[in-house]
Each structure stands twice: as C-alpha cells, then as structure tokens.
Amino acid sequence: MAKKRGSATGTKKPRGKPKSKKDAVDLRRLEPVLKKYREERGAIIPMLQQAQAVYGYLPQSVMERVAEAGGVSPSEVYGVVTFYTQFRLKPVGDYVIRVCHGTACHVNGAERITETIAGQLGIDEGGTTDDSKFTLESVVCLGCCSLAPVMMINEETYGRLTPKKVRTILKSY
Amino acid sequence: MAGKRSTTTIKVGLGSCGIAAGARKVWDALEQELNRDGIKADLKITGCIGMCFREPLVEVTDQRGTVTYGDMTPERVQRMLEEHVRDGTPVDEWIVRGEGYDRPDDAFLEKQYRIVLRNCGIIDPENIEEYMGRQGYAALEKALGEYSPEQVIEIITQSGLRGRGGAGFPTGVKWSFARRAPDRGVKYVVCNADEGDPGAFMDRSTLEGDPHTVIEGMLIAGYAIGASDGYIYVRAEYPLAVKRLHIALDQARTRGFVGENILGTDFSFEIKIKEGAGAFVCGEETALIASIEGRRGMPRLRPPFPATCGLWGQPTNINNVETFANVPWIILNGAEAFSALGTEKSKGTKVFALAGKTARGGLVEVPMGITLREVVNDIGGGTISGVPVKAVQMGGPSGGCIPASLMDTRVDYEEVTSTGAIMGSGGMVVLDETTCMVDVAKFFLSFTQRESCGKCTFCRIGTRRMLEILTRISGGKAREKDIDLLGDLAAKIKMASLCGLGQTAPNPVLTTLRYFRDEYEAHVNEKRCPATVCRPLLTVEIDEEKCTGCGACKAVCPVHAIVGEKKQPHRIDHDLCTRCKMCYETCKFDAVSVR
C-alpha cells in the first residue's frame, strides 16, 4: 500500500453555516422523511436511506430519531446501519470518489487506480481530504464491467481508466 | 425538405454503461444540432443492445434501413447528421453494424438468441407504448383470459425454465409450492434484483432496457400462485434501473395492468420497489426477506421455505429478474418453443455479462448448450490483448475458474457444475495468461469474507483463515502445509455453513487449486508469481544501461520511489516501491524489468 501522506480526517469542517458544531444537526429536516413512511411496515431501511440523502451521513441523533419513529430500539437501528455498506457514520467530502473493485476492474488494474488517487490526494482509502473536498471509497461493483477499470465521482462515471487519465480527471475538479 | 427527412429515427443507447462511456453528451449534441440546420429526425432513447465495447452507440433508421454507429462522440455528431441524415450518405468508417455492411463485430450478435433481451436496445424503456407495440402485456392478457392459474404453472413447468439467479431450481415447481401453500390472507411475489456478484450486470441492463417485461413476468407469477402483492428488491447502486422501474410501474398502473381488477378480471396485484442498501448476502432468499422487513439481512434455517413461510410469515415466491423476463415470452410462444432450445436438462437461453480481458465485452444471450469456446472466442472475440485465454470465471464469488482446456464445456447447469464452477447468475469473466490464479482466488475470498453476515462460525471465521493463508501465499510467506490446509478448511466451510454464501465461498479456491495447482506451488515453494501479479514476490529494476533519464517513470510513480537526475540513469528505492509496475508500463526504452 502507498505510504500515508497527509491525514484523513473524519470530521467535516463547517462551511456555509458558520458556528455549526459537529453532530449538531437540524432534526426538523428529517420530519418529512419520517412522515412519508409512517404507515409503512418495516420501513427502517428506506427511512435511513433518505435520512442519509438529507444529511450526507447518519449522525447519532438522526439514528435515534429514526428508531423512535420506527418503533424499534436505537441499537437495532445501529445494527442495520452497520450491516449495510451504503450507510455512513461519518460525513464525506463534496466529491465522493468511488473506485470500482469488481472482478473485471480488479483484473484490469483497479488497485492502481485507487493508489494513484490516494497518492494524488494524500489520503487513504476511506479517507477525506483536509479541505473536505474529496472522499475516496472502494465499491464492490458499479456494473460497467466492459469499461473496466471504472470509477464514479458523485454521479459522473469514468471508464477505461489509466493512472494518467485519473490524474487529468482529478485536476478538472 | 423536412417532410421527407422526418422519417429518420435516431436512437441513442442510454443504459448505465452507455452513459458511463459518454452517451449523454452525444445525446445532448444530437439534440442541439438536430434543431439547427433544418436537419430533422426523431430522437429516441433506448436501453443496452449489449455491445458495451462499442459504446456510445447511435442507431439511425431511415427508408434505406438501419445502421449503428459505434464509439460515438459529440464531435462526430455534426458530420454524421450532415452526411447521413441530410445527404443520405452514411459515414462508412464509423459504422459497426448494419444491413449490407460486413463488419467484424457482426460475430458478436450472430450466435445470440434473444428472449430475455428481446426488447433491450430496441424499445424506449420509458415508454409503455413501445413495449406494447412488441406484444407487451399480451402474455398477461392471454394468461388471465385463456388459462387457469394451474395451467400457467403447468406451462412454465413444461417449458423447463429454471431459476436464473444461479441455483437452477425449476421455476414451475417453485410456483406450485407457493400456489399450494395454505392461504392466510396474502401471498407475495418478490423479484430478486439484488445483483451483487462483482463482474455481473445482466439484471441491471434488463431492468434499464426493458423494465416492463419483468413487471409482466411478476404479474403472471402473481396470478399463478394467487398472490396480491409484489416487491422488487433492487440494488440502490443502480439508480437508473430504479428510476425506470418507477416510471414503468406508474405507466402500467395507469393502463390498468397493475392495481385492482387487472384487465377487468378479479385479479388484483400491487408492486412496490424496495432499494437494497448494499449487502451481497441479501441475494439469499431468507436474507432478502429479512432486509425487506427492515432488519439486518441475515439468512435463517430452511425449512420452513419462503414458499410456505416467507415475507412477514406469509407464502412468498422469489425469482430472479431474468427468470421473470422469460415468463411473458413462454406464455406467448408456448412451452415447446422454449424447451426446443438448449440441452436435455437446461432449456431456453442464458444471459451472460461478458467481461474481463475479453475483446468484445458486453451483454450476450445465448441458447443453452453452446460451448464456452463459442461464447468467449466467437462472440467475445478472444482476449483484447491477444494473449491466450487462461480461464473463464463463472458464477462470481460462488463460482469457479474453468481452465482453457475445458472450453468445450457446454452452457448447461449440470455440465458447468461438474467442472467445480456454477452457472451462477451470469457473470462471465475472461482471464488471460497475465492473470494470477492465486490472486483471483484471493480476490473472491476477500469479497466473501467481507460479505459474510457472521452468523455461521465456519463462514465467519473459516473464510478469514482461508484469506490469511492466501495472503501468506501471495505474500511469499507461505508455510509448507498451507495448500493442504486450504483444501481442508474449504471442505469444512462448505459443509457447516447455513446459506449459499458460505456453502459456495470456497469454490474459487477449490477450482483454482484443482486446475492451477502448479501456480500455487510456484508461490509456495519458489516464492515466485508466474504471472507477475503478486507484488511482494516481485522485483522491479531499472537497467542503467538502457535508461536515458527521461523521467517518465519518475513522474508516474505514485509513491515517489524513483530517484535520479534528468538525463542520468534512474534507480528504484526498493523500500518505498510498491511494485505497481506503472514505471514498467510507462518506460519507452524497455529499461524497467519485472521479475
């Protein structure tokens, strides 16, 4: 693995909203989500998915509120959150880079793509840059195997990557 | 001018892989250019035709016929419109397929037979009219109007359709279990669209390209077993498939195909979409049910089977996307038409996601009974590198590697199983001689180890121990008995795991051990990786005689392990070097060697 340079930080620096403290989230934004699923059976997962869409991750207070609304214990919600890879307990950068490590990407050099990005941004896999701009993640398969190796930056997909191409793409952000 | 030309239709393949290759930008360019210089054509979207290796694809149909342009770019749009649409002269050099054109890529489609993908890449998946224009929902009408539920089950049984999710259980038999289950008020039909195998994208392409056929298949299943509610459990990582399913469901509801009293009968059926949150084990039936119920997706002991006690304790029938997509075709064309295709025990067709080192990667649907050689060489065009094929990986983490020497194996559930691999859901990854089989085994095991839900000890801990052994082997720290230990652990994990994930997790190791034992032995005994993939076993050197000091390797090294002044021979700091081989591939003077 690439040697660690720079540091991966877990907390997002407050931007836009000054004075907002870590995990001090506005729970009112969650209410429309909870209302939507009030009548639905077993809706913990969709509630969490949409809560994450609102906050970018799942702060503790949000999980507690979802538990209350869903009529289950906070520990059960935490169990669900930690079971599924989609859920995040930490905030992420403005741009989430997801490098595909499916079979086709693996045999076509996905590891080097992750290394190149890690080296370029000075973070490890799973880390976020100090300026909260980028988060680097690995995913199991994006399903664009014929374009391997592939990565996504937020909603944009990039295929047939080479380390050189990756560096050019990163510079465009 | 315009009146004559507007008979032209331009279709852009906007599936996920098309979009990833830049199809959206091509679409935007077409939209912009079309309305400008008086060049008129109808612009339409379509799903994936399967030729992913030529994406973005643009198909132009006019009175002269249809041609497909491959590798399209926004820059190519203007010339294509002017020469082809305005002047009537197709741009020959960009055409990859068309009547009267002899193209090397024709071989990609020649041996295919399309049932599941019959509409993919042809219709606009967001327009129910186009689906109905190709006999869409006619099968539902026929089933409800002409057959009793028992007769529908009989037809499906006679057709020989088997579960396409991987296990190959006869679909008609499965339906009859759910039909006969005591009715306690409600029964469910669930579509398993939690396509989790790394290297597989069949279900995604089907859902993106023809969502209605899956919905129609579910409706017919619902009628056959007496269910009133359906769920589609689809990966959240497939946003486009989710979006198109929602559109299709709304349209089907408006048309009265989904909802109360469908087509004026007393059959009512509602379908909901549930997005999976990322857990491979949820492809297992009981885990999938737990996930829909909002819990951790952990499998449970069977029996009772979901057919009698499934979702919320009610009888539940679960089939895979591809299985459902076959159903309307079978109802319309009859069981005999379907069973005429294939081998004695494996009927119909199978969809594969052809990927890896293949020259023509994409989505293919072939009749059962075709050999792997035909799929890999004739359809896939061999390897992209020209290096010989070493093995074909089938069935993802539950499957195995079939060596090149067994390429005459036919696509047939039993025949594939006899090699140690499985048919699986349709992932087919071509591996060439530059692939290390120990590394492939390690790759899959690290996947299953991570995805093990943790319930069964042998799966939870056994896969971890196996991964540790494989890491030792590929890291040059193998112990003498490690290969035997791997085989021993594999057998025990298979025996003592509750669900398919654990029972099949050792397959990639077992098949590579069976067919590529010499590679394991080279790693263990000689501390050598013959394919030069396992990094700790490699040495990267710069030949100072050949090095010109151009600095290209230095610039490309991600860990800054290369030192040297401009125009002076460079050298590698082996403490920093990660053996990523980027310098090796960058060097134009053949000065870098990897051993």
Neighbours of B480 (CB within 10 A): 9
End-to-end CA distance of chain A: 25
B342 SS3 class: strand
Please calculate the CA angle B179-B499-B427 and round it to the nearest 5 degrees: 90
Q: Which of A70, A86, A148 is facing B355, going by the closest CB pair?
A: A148
Q: Which of B204, B277, B559 is facing A45, going by the closest CB pair?
A: B277
Helix (H) or strand (E) holding B500: helix B500-504
- What is the tens place of the pLDDT at every residue in B156-187? 999 999 999 988 999 999 999 999 999 888 99
Report the gap between the CA of B290 and the closest CA in chain A (Å). Answer: 9
Q: How many CB pairs under 8 A join A and B?
A: 159
How many whole angstroms separate alpha carbon B431 and alpha carbon B376?
A: 10
Q: Which of A1, A76, A107 is facing B356, going by the closest CB pair?
A: A107
How many whole angstroms separate alpha carbon B172 and alpha carbon A111?
A: 44
- CB contacts under 8 A, B 342-401 vs A, are 353-357, 361-362, 393, 396
A101 chain-B contacts, CB cut-off 8 A: 198
B587 chain-A contacts, CB cut-off 8 A: none
Average pLDDT along chain A: 86
Q: Write down the residue that tokens 């737990």 correspond to.
A: B290
Structure tokens of A32? 């429309």
The CATH fold of domain A27-83? Arc Repressor Mutant, subunit A (1.10.10)
Of B332, B280, B18, B344, nearest in space to B145 by CA: B332
DSSP E strands in B331-414: the ranges are: 349-356, 362-367, 389-394, 400-403
Q: Which residues pair with B363 in a beta bridge?
A: B353
B435 chain-A contacts, CB cut-off 8 A: 107
- In one-letter notation, the amino acid at residue A58 is L
Length of chain B: 595
pLDDT for B260: 97
- What is the tens place of the pLDDT at every residue in A86-128? 999 999 999 999 999 998 899 899 999 999 999 999 999 999 9
Q: Is B295 on the interface with A (CB under 8 A)?
A: yes
How many whole angstroms separate alpha carbon B77 and alpha carbon B27?
A: 9
How many whole angstroms separate alpha carbon A145 and alpha carbon A149?
A: 8
Pairing of strands B389-394, B540-542: unpaired
Helix (H) or strand (E) holding B583: helix B582-586
pLDDT for B393: 96
- Suggest the residue from B298, B559, B586 to mutate for an interface test with chain A (most A CBs closer than 10 A): B559
DSSP E strands in B148-239: the ranges are: 188-193, 229-235
Answer yes or no: are the C-beta atoms of B442 and B464 closer than 8 Å: no
Q: Is A164 on the interface with B (CB under 8 A)?
A: yes
How many whole angstroms separate alpha carbon B551 and alpha carbon B563?
A: 9
Range list of H helices, B2-119: 2-5, 16-20, 23-34, 74-80, 106-110
How many whole angstroms separate alpha carbon B50 and alpha carbon B523?
A: 38
pLDDT for A155: 82
- CB contacts under 8 A, A 62-81 vs B, are 70, 76, 79-80
- CB contacts under 8 A, B 491-550 vs A, are none
Residue numbers in chain B where pLDDT is lower than 70:
1-6
Q: Is A102 on the interface with B (CB under 8 A)?
A: yes
Q: Which of B17, B55, B291 is facing A45, going by the closest CB pair?
A: B291
ipTM metric: 0.90
Q: Which of A107, A112, A140 is facing B580, going by the closest CB pair?
A: A112
Q: Which of A1, A87, A158 is facing B578, going by the closest CB pair?
A: A1
Test B558 with A119 for CB contact under 8 angstroms: yes
Q: Which of B197, B237, B447 is facing A142, going by the closest CB pair?
A: B237
Output the pTM of the full model: 0.92
Domain map (residue ranges) of chain A: 27-83, 95-171
Domain A95-171: CATH superfamily, name plus number: Glutaredoxin (3.40.30.10)
How many whole angstroms separate alpha carbon A120 and alpha carbon B513?
A: 38
Domains and CATH numbers, chain B: 2-103 (3.40.30.10), 128-338 (3.40.50.11540), 349-432 (3.10.20.600), 437-525 (1.20.1440.230), 538-594 (3.30.70.20)
User: B564-585 burial string, b = 16+ CB within 10 Å, else e?
Assistant: beeeeebebeeeebbbbbbbbe
Comparing alpha-carbon positions, the chain A residue that sits nearest to B430 is: A104
- The residue ranking higher by pLDDT, A59 or B2, is A59
Structure tokens of B423? 């048919």
Q: Is B447 on the interface with A (CB under 8 A)?
A: yes
- Exposed / middle / buried, residue B243 (Cβ in 10 Å: 0-12, 13-18, 19+): middle
pLDDT at A19 over 50: no
Test B356 with A145 for CB contact under 8 angstroms: yes
Test B277 with A150 for CB contact under 8 angstroms: no
Q: Is B577 on the interface with A (CB under 8 A)?
A: no
Test A70 with B580 for CB contact under 8 angstroms: no
Answer yes or no: are the C-beta atoms of B345 and B412 closer than 8 Å: yes
- Suggest the residue from B237, B270, B428, B562 to mutate for an interface test with chain A (most A CBs closer than 10 A): B237
Q: Write down the residue that tokens 């050298």 correspond to.
A: B571
pLDDT for B4: 46
